Amino acid sequence: MRFGTLEFSPAVDHPELLAAPTATALADADPSDALVAAIDPGLADTAAFCAHYEISPADGANCVIVQARRGERTWYAACLVRGADRLDVNGAVRRHLDARKLSFAPMEQAVELTGMQVGGITPVGLPSDWLILVDESVASHERLIIGSGTRDAKLLVSGSFLAASANAEVLPIALRG
């Protein structure tokens, strides 16, 4: 399947393009649930990727890892917003997680905890105890580009696939624009 200038094929057929946790999570998936395409790793970041591969930022979803704190407890969650939107970290996300303090997780820590690469972190294959907050505009989108866990590839999935993920909750967490 072609999307933008990329040619996608079933991700289950190409585990070499996926981070290990992502490949494990997709091992039993239907081949039509997640498609994968190899990309130039130097173009993995949203703006460069979209410009080069002729894909609108609105057709991609960024996976942002947040670190929540309340008292002595610290926990992590993933938030999915379309590439054209911003995450409402200090509003909707902080309230939903019932966190006293919420921040973007330090990148080194996010990489270590997820087993994925910067610029490729994806909700597919995250630790099983993490909540995945999916913006309602992501959940209703027909086809979205997301990370594959590596900088070498991108996944093409439906919003409904993301919304049906284990630990996923759909709610308005994005600031449009």
* pLDDT tens, residue by residue, 143-163: 999 999 999 999 999 999 999
What's the pLDDT tens digit per position in 108-131?
A: 999 999 999 998 999 999 999 999
What's the pLDDT tens digit per position in 9-40?
A: 999 999 999 999 999 999 988 999 999 999 99
Number of H-type helices and E-type strands within the chain:
6, 13
Please, are residues 45 and 166 in contact by the beta-carbon 8 Å criterion?
Answer: no
Name the token pair of 10: 């079933």
CATH number of 2-175: 3.90.960.10
Q: Is 177 exposed, middle or buried (0-12, 13-18, 19+ CB in 10 A)?
A: exposed
